[in-house]
Amino acid sequence: MDFALTEEQSAIFDTARDVGRDRIEPHARAWDADGEIPKELWPDLARLGFAGLYVAEDDGGSGLSRLDATLVFEALSMACPSVAAFLSVHNMACWMISNWGTQPLKDRVLTPAVSGEIYVAYCLTEPGSGSDAAALKTRADRTNEGWKLTGTKAFISGGGYAGAYVVMCRTGEDGPKGVSAVVLESGAPGLDFGGLEEKMGWRSQPTRQVLMDGAKAPADAILGEEGHGFSYAMKGLDGGRLNIAACSLGAAQAALDITLGYMGEREAFGKTIDRFQGLQFRLADMEIALQSARTFLRQAAWKLDTGAPDATKYCAMAKKLATETGSKIVNDCLQLHGGYGYLADYGIEKLVRDLRVHEILEGTNEIMRVIVARHMLASR
């Protein structure tokens, strides 16, 4: 078994790390304070193929593997996990359009999305259905012109910012088999947004409710077959969970690198604090946990790329393990900085805030345990 990255994969990681260092990291704190990532960033990332990472090449995408994509998100998260995670949502939505969208829809939405002209948001969660996503209430009814959507989506990254929204909506019976996926374009009649949410972390991502009161979409805006939207959404989440896991590990690596530098300079009792064995043990524990989670994540990505029957289980396990590992590492790094870690200037407190939500989104880590247990019981 070969655990080494190929030369191409190493180049992908290095490219993402360089653009993160040059184009994102210097502005991350300002974007966090402003509450919005400038839209001018997306064409810069798109020129590197990052706006359509696993979109088919025939649709203008990069056609990379899920493992390749995790390298991009890990590297970008070393600059800012909020920006990287925002890009992950866009890539998941674009992949769904590439896989199941009509050609006219691809021409209108996917082409400008992979070129960075517009951002595409993903709308699944509702005020009354988070973990129980199959209980969503948003409806899409057929009209002579296409579709009319009514309902509310909550916690939408890019709400009011995106150029298009992939909306999971009910077109049939209760439960997952009655759910379809319809793409709403910005400016559609009946589409509106709630106020900007004040959040603990991910503050550079504009987050709002998406409000639909008879919002209109053309007939060609449905993805794939009617009633199959929930399965499309779940397939998208497998990859999304890998990406969020990668974002956690990239941020944890950045925090650990910062902390090693700080400990080599900070003195106490006549020597730098990296000379104290008790603190060295903490550094070693963080490195062991980080490398273990990274290896497991890459195995899960390989399973998804190869179509392994247990890929969903492994994506759930990787998401749970990596997000909790990342959160613990950045919190421990803050502790090793002492009072300075609590200050914004050192960059650690932002990572603590940004990573906390990773244990909630793309399915809470409690739901990840449910998925794993169900697969275990089904295989008896």
> Catalytic residue numbers?
362
Q: Calculate helix-pair angle for 311-336, 277-305, nearest 10 degrees.
A: 160
Q: Indicate the pairing of strand 146-157 with strand 179-185.
A: unpaired
Q: Is the Cβ–Cβ distance between 148 and 216 less than 8 Å?
A: yes
Please name which of 156, 53, 58 lies closest in space to residue 95, comparing C-alpha atoms: 53
- Per-residue HEC secondary structure of the chain comes to CCCCCCHHHHHHHHHHHHHHHHHHHHHHHHHHHHCCCCCCHHHHHHCCCCCCCCCCHHHCCCCCCHHHHHHHHHHHHCCCHHHHHHHHHHHHHHHHHHHHCCHHHHHHHHHHHHCCCCCEEEECCECCECCCHHHCCCEEEECCCEEEEEEEEEEEECCCCCCEEEEEEECCCCCHHHEEEEEEECCCCCEEECCCCCCCCCCCCCEEEEEEEEEEEEHHHECCCCCCHHHHHHHHHHHHHHHHHHHHHHHHHHHHHHHHHHHCCCEECCEEHHHCHHHHHHHHHHHHHHHHHHHHHHHHHHHHHCCCCCHHHHHHHHHHHHHHHHHHHHHHHHHHCHHHHHCHHHCHHHHHHHHHHHHCCCCCHHHHHHHHHHHHHHCC
